[in-house]
Amino acid sequence: MRKVKLALGTHNHQPVGNFDFVFEDAYAKAYLPFIEILERHPQIKVSQHYTGILLDWFMQKYPEFIGRLKALVKRGQIEMISGGFYEPILINIPDADKLGQIAKLTQTIKEQTGYNATGFWLAERIWEPHLASILSQAHMRYTIIDDSHFKSAGLQDEELRGYYITEDKGETLNIFPIAERLRYTIPFQDPEVTIEYLRSIASEDGNNLVVFADDGEKFGIWPDTYKHCYENGWIERFFRALEANLDWIELVHFQEVLNTMPPIGRVYLPTASYREMMEWALPTKTIHEYEDFEHQLRDHNMFNRYKVFVHGGFWRNFLAKYPESNNLHKKSIYVNQKLEKVKGAARQSELFSEAQDKLWAGQCNCPYWHGVFGGLYLNNLRFAVYRSMIEAETKLDQLTRSKTALEKGWIDIQQFDFDADGQDEIIVETATLNGYFSPAKGGSLFELDFKPAAINLLDTMSRHEEAYHRKLLNVQNNHHNNNEVASIHDRVVMKEDGLDKRLHYDWFRRCSLIDHFLTADTTLDEMAIAKNHEAGDFVTSAYNVDISQEKAAKLLHFSRVGFVNVDGRAESIKLDKIIKFDPKNPQIDIKYRLRNQTDRKLDLWFGIDFIVALLAGNAHDRYFYIPGHNLETRNLASTGIVSQINQLSVVDEWLGIDVQFSFDRSADVWRYPIETISQSEGGFERVYQSSVVFPNWKIQLLPDASWELNIVKHIKH
């Protein structure tokens, strides 16, 4: 009888910062019912990977679930697979953190289930050749990767009926290819389709191995899969079909294969992920060309044959594509460097261990990239990883600062190339605030961490053009062109109408202390969609900077001589902004000085962007407050103008934060939201990112005269 070996695996994960109701829904619809069915079918073997995030949640909410896993491990049904505890993109973090996260999850699996895991789940299957040695050092014997990785190395389908060995610097790792065919048949086609596929590759010696490994959430959480898998009984029927054919289908665990079969051979895989991920990492205009080429191949029935030769980009380029992703990554590197500086003396300290674990939680991969799922655009996920890293820094402060400094406050300033762009940034750290400045980009403030609440108050996305936006525009164009139907490749589902009208793009990074000189006809609506005309050249230009001290406080003095178009002439203006941080109090004093360097009287319209990112644009407990004014709409996603005021607050009752702005010159204050249109598994959606507070003044400057302004930004908690 011709026989075949089948290894089944599932990967189960929820990101740090995901809502508890999402965990509950996934537990009720996917994780628990899958185990319940598995218990009823003792002959079915499955390898399972749960991230540490999930295992912690199970222990807190449903410890009995861990008991059931342990029982299934003991009776030989489940093989547990390790990974990075907080599901990092492995190439995205330092080697010491790679090894630490793997050791933490492996130890947790041992403690909770009794299993010695030697397999590694590679997050998003993002592979680079040097990982072979890292995983070997972590005592991992194998990992599981898409068969497309192997095909990129030149292997054919018939050569992928087993596993291979690879190495880096002589350290070896076994790698199993996931059969793409099974990822599409399980659970979306009748079980017999999978059985027939297995029958087609069975062999006389029975040594052909086929691997299925995919997200556990596709068994209950993906759209319509709970009804399909459980109410309509797909999984039950699939397990019964396997049981009915166990005379020729041998269900195996990966560890079992390693112990009984040799590798097919040695292979070296190129850098890769699954096909869609490599496409998403490309620049937007290149994705358009990539999609057009794919469409041509599909239209000529050539795609399935030649898709292995159609390669997209490289995961690391998400850090170049999105400055927001790069900011998260470089923050994690910076915190890691802080930990490394104290590791020798403090390694056994409880505070050190807590700080290290917080950093690792901040390395959870989900908000570092963007594809068909919200990822980077989901502010609750960014908030969670920033919170973890800021909490890590606070614990390091407690570990490294003297008792006097902790009581009376302290302040440090560093100037170095934080974001690896070839230009120095400045980081100011105090007992209550971290401020990150870019002299080369408008003298802007691009991160402001409020430590008591562990939040980056400037955690926003700018509005980037995404490749999938053209699908929205095509739908609208087709609607106006005699209701033509869009290509099957370009079908669109929208969570609300009119999203195509909300596609606006920012030409500068959204952050604070961006200096604008407006033309006389500028409107709030133009500013809100970044379509206003700038009269000055200050927004993205480089500023000079000097650092000085005033008593216990530190001063950053940014200055620039630029030009403002007044009545058709480029007039010279010197702009100084002096930022003062208090060592103890969460307050920033900002002084502006504009100097007319011409011999003409100048009429100027000057304003400053401030960003406040507090997660929810329409929540009743997050709002604008202006003393003496009753705002008609005050939610954070509101748009409006309030004239001649000296104070404004942005309040978040949920976090207990009041971000208060005070101006010593009465200002007209404009406000508007930054909202992005992004793609998710449920369709296109509008996501609130932050609010812009834009105080502005109309100024008349005599020749060689100056105008000064003082702003205090104070955060109450």
Positions marked active-site: 124, 215
Q: Please classify residue 370 by burial: count the beta carbons closer than 10 Å to its beta carbon, then call 0-12 exposed, 13-18 middle and 19+ buried.
A: buried
Q: Under a CB-based contact definition with an 8 Å cutoff, are residues 10 and 34 in contact?
A: yes
Q: At what angle do helices 52-61 and 63-74 cross, to 10 degrees?
A: 120
Residues 6+ apart with CB under 8 A from 275: 148, 307, 310, 312
| DSSP codes of every residue in 603-628 | EEEEEEEEEE--S-SS-TTEEEE-TT
Q: Under a CB-based contact definition with an 8 Å cutoff, are residues 192 and 241 in contact?
A: yes
Q: Please classify residue 643 by burial: count the beta carbons closer than 10 Å to its beta carbon, then call 0-12 exposed, 13-18 middle and 19+ buried.
A: exposed
CA distance linking residue 564 with residue 572, whole number of Å: 7
Strands 444-450 and 433-438: antiparallel
Q: Is the torsion defined by CA of 221, 222, 225, 227 positive or negative? A: positive
Tokens representing 496 are 């609300």
Residue 275, helix vs strand vs coil? helix
Cβ density class 482-506: b for 16+ within 10 Å, e for less: eeeeeeeebebebeeeebbeebeee
| CA torsion, ordered 399, 405, 406, 407, to nearest 10 deg | 150
Tokens representing 614 are 């507090």
CB atoms under 10 Å from CB of 463, counted, come to 21
Residue 59, helix vs strand vs coil? helix
Strands 142-146 and 171-178: parallel
CA distance linking residue 635 with residue 691, whole number of Å: 10
CA 244 to each of CA 186, 212, 248, 281, 464: distance values in angstroms, whole numbers, following the listed order? 17, 19, 10, 44, 53
Tokens representing 672 are 């508007």
Residue 575, helix vs strand vs coil? strand
Q: Under a CB-based contact definition with an 8 Å cutoff, are residues 684 and 495 in contact?
A: yes
Q: Identify any residues that bridge with 514 across adjacent strands, giving them in sequence order.
A: 609
CA nearest to 125, candidates 317, 272, 267:
272
CA nearest to 507, candidates 523, 524, 530:
530
CA nearest to 677, candidates 668, 690, 667, 687:
687
Reported as type and span, the H/E element at residue 191 is helix 191-201
CA nearest to 450, candidates 652, 593, 164:
652
CA distance linking residue 630 with residue 640, whole number of Å: 12
Residues 6+ apart with CB under 8 A from 487: 295
Tokens representing 9 are 């695996």
SS3 per-residue string spanning 325-389:
HHHHHHHHHHHHHHHHHHHHHHCCCHHHHHHHHHHHHCCECHHHCCCCCCHHHCHHHHHHHHHHH
Residue 595, helix vs strand vs coil? strand
